[in-house]
Structure 1
């Protein structure tokens, strides 16, 4: 363990070091910058400092700074933590980060994220319920019926 670093802080640092560096391809670099800009804009609109958001999201200040500048690509878990700290729907954050595939972008999560009639809390709740149902269905999916031979 690092000298002078508590167990929880050490685990957080190690976890952050395991995240990927910003992706190499131009499209992925653009997505990294876009999600970083999006997070920075949301943070500033909320009147929250970088340090405050880092503390609320459970990540280090330098790591969050790198994410905002597009130098690091946060995991889905970190994006969820940041979304929660900013009170933004997780699917919105995932869409911005390019974590949802084309099917999902055009599907239910995208519709929830884009609905102006819903509050952020409602979007978050609906998204979580939807994902819970999808996971349940995937676990309990019956095997295809086998045709019986005469």
Structure 2
């Protein structure tokens, strides 16, 4: 089940680049990668590293996690909806950066409240043996 979907990553990147109205050259420059290398990624010929994906995500102003999932670096099948929701929020051109961060914080708090654990940048324990303050001597 660990198949690599580099082709769909490339298609997704091309779609995001066009949506951001950037040329291949402009995105390559903004991400600090070569134009031919980015072209090969978009055509599914190369598998970029997590660092390159992070640079491209930053240049496109989208979630790096979304690119990690699409590249097969992050296995987030159970959290795909959460990752996609974050990507949509981060990609919304009508919100400024502060608004996006506040919205993500509210989203995280609702997810925690509903028992979906911690998200985005926080390490999550494996839910085994970490009962924390719930263990009380009665």
Confirm or deny that 1:49 pairs with 2:49. no
Confirm or deny that 1:100 pairs with 2:74. yes
> What CA deviation, in whole Å up to 9, does each residue of 1:124-144 have, x standing for no partner?
x769x9454318x79xxx9xx
> What CA deviation, in whole Å up to 9, does each residue of 1:78-131 have, x standing for no partner?
111111111111111111112112xx3313xx34323279620547x769x945
Report SS of the residue matched to 1:100.
Answer: coil
Listed as ranges, the gaps of 5+ residues in structure 1 are: 1-26, 143-150
Whichever of the two has the greater Rg, that structure is 1
Following TM superposition, by how much is the alpha carbon of 1:41 offset from its aligned partner in structure 2, in angstroms?
A: 0.9
Question: Which whole-Å CA distance do the structure 1 matches of 2:8 and 2:29 have between them?
Answer: 22
With structure 2 as the length reference, what TM-score do the two structures score? Answer: 0.62
Listed as ranges, the gaps of 5+ residues in structure 2 are: 91-96, 109-117, 131-138
Paired position in structure 1 for 2:52: 78
Paired position in structure 2 for 1:23: none
Structure 1 stretches of 4+ moved >3 Å: 129-132
Question: Which whole-Å CA distance do the structure 2 matches of 1:84 and 1:117 have between them?
Answer: 12
Question: Which whole-Å CA distance do the structure 1 matches of 2:88 and 2:30 have between them?
Answer: 24
Number of residue-to-residue matches in the alignment: 103
Question: Which whole-Å CA distance do the structure 2 matches of 1:92 and 1:59 have between them?
Answer: 19
Question: Which whole-Å CA distance do the structure 2 matches of 1:76 and 1:32 have between them?
Answer: 13
Considering fraction of residues, name the structure with more helix.
Answer: 1
- Taking only aligned residues, the RMSD between alpha carbons, in angstroms, comes to 2.8
